[in-house]
Amino acid sequence: MSLLSIRNLHISLEGQKILSDVSLDVRSGKLVGLIGPNGAGKSILLKSILGVIDKKDGEITLDGKDISDWPLMEKARKISYAAQGAPVHWPLTVGHLVSLGRIPHLSPWQSTTREDQILTLEAMKKTNVDHLSMRITTTLSGGERARVMLARAIVTGAEFLLADEPIESLDPYHQIQILNILKELTQNGHGVLLIIHDLNFAQKYCDELILLDKGKVVASGQPSDVLNDRNLQNTYRIKASRFLKDGNSFIIADELLNSD
């Protein structure tokens, strides 16, 4: 049982407060959704866990040890990351790109072993891209590319996955496909911190939601509690209608409040 824990995190960039007093926990086996309006600081939060952005104050610990005390390679074996927009700068083959997720297990002099290649193939099967192995990543469709990127993040075998809007700009079929894979990961004991904008999917798939607004945690806990009318009005500035179907509540944003 592993624990990724953030306590009273403060982050400033170029003199501007980005995050203040943020606390949250991600445990193995849990899918934690990070939601909030654009510019709330969600991506910055993930990057501070990665150590790309320095914190000003507060604590980020992995299994009780400060995140900056973990050697880079060891940390990389514990936490994997799927970046927003999934940038790829060279036309790599899908198979090669996915195998890059094994780098944390290699020494700087080593290239992938047969075992790494087997694991790569397994990860590609899990996200249903094994038939694309020889294709060039930059020629894939959005849905294929998202699944390739997820395979790349999964193949590391890390206990935690930080996923920055992995279902952004996908059609509903591929959105559900990706969310199912993430859900399955948590059922296999991984902890996932997921940035997501679709409130209905967030409510349906996540075990816990953390609502971030202007760098502060406004609410956290059970999805149905977090997504109450008051929070939607105060943070998203929307008035929502709800309807119930088969015991699930659905949210439809149908009115803007105090637009600017």
Partner 1 sequence: MALKGLPYRNFNIALIICLVLISFLSLFIGSVSLSPSEVIAGLIGNGTPAISIIVVDLRLPRVLMGILAGATLGLSGASLQGMLRNPLADPGIIGVTSSAALGAVIAIYFGLSSFFPTAIQLMAIFGALISTAILVLISMRDSSVLTLILAGIGISSLSTAAISLTMNFAPNPMTLQDMIMWMLGSLENRTISDISISLPFILVGWALHMGISNGLDASSLGDDTARSLGIDTRRMQLQIILGGAISVGAVVAACGAIGFVGLVVPHIVRRLIGYAPGRLLLPSALLGAILLISADLLTRMPFGYGQLRLGVVTAIIGAPMFLYIVYKTRKEMR
Ramachandran angles phi, psi of 155, nearest 5°: -65, -20
**Residue among 44 and 170 whose Cβ is closer to partner 1:** 44
Dist. CA 75–CA 222, nearest whole Å = 29
**Residue among 149 and 202 whose Cβ is closer to partner 1:** 149
**Residue among 93 and 249 whose Cβ is closer to partner 1:** 93
DSSP string, 181-214: HHHHHHHTT-EEEEE---HHHHHHH-SEEEEEET
Tell me how far, at minimum, the Cβ of 219 lies from partner 1, in Å: 28
**210 CB-contact burial (10 Å; exposed 0-12 / middle 13-18 / buried 19+):** buried
Tell me how far, at minimum, the Cβ of 109 lies from partner 1, in Å: 6
E strand residue ranges, the chain: 3-13, 16-27, 31-35, 57-62, 65-66, 79-82, 160-164, 191-195, 208-213, 216-221, 238-245, 248-256
Tell me how far, at minimum, the Cβ of 199 lies from partner 1, in Å: 26
**Rule CB under 8 A: which residues touch partner 1?**
47, 50-52, 72-77, 79-81, 83, 87-93, 96-97, 100-101, 103-104, 106, 108-111, 152, 156, 162
**Residue among 9 and 76 whose Cβ is closer to partner 1:** 76
**Residue among 119 and 211 whose Cβ is closer to partner 1:** 119
The candidate with the shortest Cα–Cα distance to 52, out of 31, 68, 34, is 68
165 residue type, one letter: E
Tell me how far, at minimum, the Cβ of 233 lies from partner 1, in Å: 34
**Residue among 76 and 232 whose Cβ is closer to partner 1:** 76
- What is the DSSP pairing of strand 65-66 with strand 57-62? antiparallel
Tell me how far, at minimum, the Cβ of 87 lies from partner 1, in Å: 5
Dist. CA 118–CA 203, nearest whole Å = 35
Tell me how far, at minimum, the Cβ of 182 lies from partner 1, in Å: 17
**Residue among 114 and 245 whose Cβ is closer to partner 1:** 114
Tell me how far, at minimum, the Cβ of 73 lies from partner 1, in Å: 4
Dist. CA 139–CA 142, nearest whole Å = 9
